Amino acid sequence: MQTILQLSDSANLGNYDILSTTANTFNSFFTPYTILSDFVDVSNSELDKQLCSKDFLQNFKNYMKGIANLDSLQKQIFHYSYLSNIDSLIDQFLTAYNNNLVSINQTPNKVLAQIGETRILHYFSGSNETTTTTSIKYSTPLLMVYAPINRYHVLDLSPNRSIINKFVSAGYDVFVIDWGEEQFKDKLTISDYIDNIYQAVERICKTTKKEKVNLYGYSWGGTFSLIYCALHNNKINNLILQSANLDFDKDDTVIAEWMRNFPVEKYNDEFKEMFGHLIDLAFLMRNPIVHSTDRVKYVFDMKEYEPFQFVQNLGKISAWITNTPDLSSRFFSQFGIDLYQKNLLVKNQLSILEKGMSGREKLTLVNLKNITVPLLNIIGSKDDLVSPKSSVPISDAVGSKDKKTIEIPSGHIELCISYDAHQNLWPVVVDWLQSKSI
């Protein structure tokens, strides 16, 4: 039986009096900022109508074709791709800064293995790796799969706003897949991402001497997790999804509309990868006034008001927002056409080329009814990157009998880092997994 749990804004908000005087000062000073919420809602609603209109989408498609044509002309005349080189220069400028900043106060971890650009990270409590085994209370390890867009760091921004640390502290042996800064070099397809999850699970099972793992997937990483679990249900104990796309036809966000109208083949004929900074720009252009202040909004949502921690969080969020890796054109083409434009996954018509440990390849249709493990589906009702309408059908699509949906009034990123989510949502998620763990 499916259970739907809705967590209200006021649920378990706790004792605000424990916040410091500094916190109250910040709250008081920035009260006008919270009053702007009505303006944000109205402006988003109006812009969404315009940016998803038939005329705009046609102009958008023509504009992107024009960029590809202009780049082609530059190459013919100057033997030089302006857009590619600008993206490369931005990457070089930001890489060192971003990596040093986001690593501050991370939950301790080490690299267990590397598959091309993909790393499998193993987390442990304390400052010494030897505490890994002594702090584990539950025998089945947890593998967390992040999206190829942005980086996994948002799952571990600060000790008290870290999903990773929540599970480590609860006694789980936690592993995270980091797709890497230069994942485009591996020229990955959807099948390659799924194969990397397959190899990660095999390596984790070998390391921990366990037969199965618990699997958590966020955003497009949740979509990957659905695909993997449908193909290898026997390797999974429990499945947790957060803001995962499934029914792409029902995704009514601006990004989804743009993806459905993006001239994927024309773009990929010209460029070798989808530039990460072009993706960042797309997120910003949904509403430049509102989204240019996202980093400030997110840090206030964290409600960590000690001045040094506040500034540190602001820097780390800023670094994370500007750190979207370039994506393989092969992957971007598949994801755009097969999922956003053809919606094959929810129809059980998506084909994955499986490699397996033997090295033999076979083409397999993904049947979501093959997923029979306990499922927890986490949805943000205010998510403007993955529409709740796209995530809700997951429960009906899978074959699991034990399934639960949690819907919380939160956005895509706020689910990961906000004070409210870490007070109201993540203790419930940890409890759910603990109730099904030994």
Phi-psi bin for 303: left (phi > 0), alpha (psi -120 to 50), beta?
Answer: left
Give tens-digit pLDDT for 370-420: 999 999 999 999 999 999 999 999 999 999 999 999 999 999 999 999 999
CB 298 within 8 A of CB 414: yes
Reported confidence tier of residue 438, pLDDT bands at 50, 70, 90: confident
pTM of the model: 0.88
**Residue 170 CA: distances (Å) to CA of 60, 137, 142:** 47, 8, 12
- Orientation angle between helical segments 307-321 and 82-102, nearest 10 degrees: 150
DSSP-derived letter for residue 105 is T
Question: HSE on the CB side for 382, CA within 13 Å?
Answer: 15
Helices in 151-275 by DSSP H: which ranges? 163-169, 190-208, 220-231, 254-260, 264-270
Cα separation, 430 vs 239, in Å, equals 12
Give tens-digit pLDDT for 62-91: 999 998 888 888 888 877 777 777 777 777
Give tens-digit pLDDT for 250-287: 999 999 999 999 999 888 888 888 888 889 989 999 99
Give tens-digit pLDDT for 209-240: 999 999 999 999 999 999 999 999 999 999 99
Structure tokens at 118: 């993909």
For 225, the 3-state DSSP assignment is: helix
CB 399 within 8 A of CB 255: no
Domains of the chain: 2-435 (3.40.50.1820)
Instruction: Give the 3-state DSSP-derived string for 338-394, with helices as H, strands as E and coil as C.
Output: HHHHCCCCCCCCCEEEECCCCCCCEEEECCHHHCCCCEEEEEECCCCCCCHHHHCCH
**What pLDDT sits at residue 404?**
96
Cα separation, 222 vs 350, in Å, equals 16
Mean pLDDT of 89-109: 76
Higher pLDDT, 437 or 215: 215
Cα separation, 177 vs 243, in Å, equals 17
CB 243 within 8 A of CB 378: yes
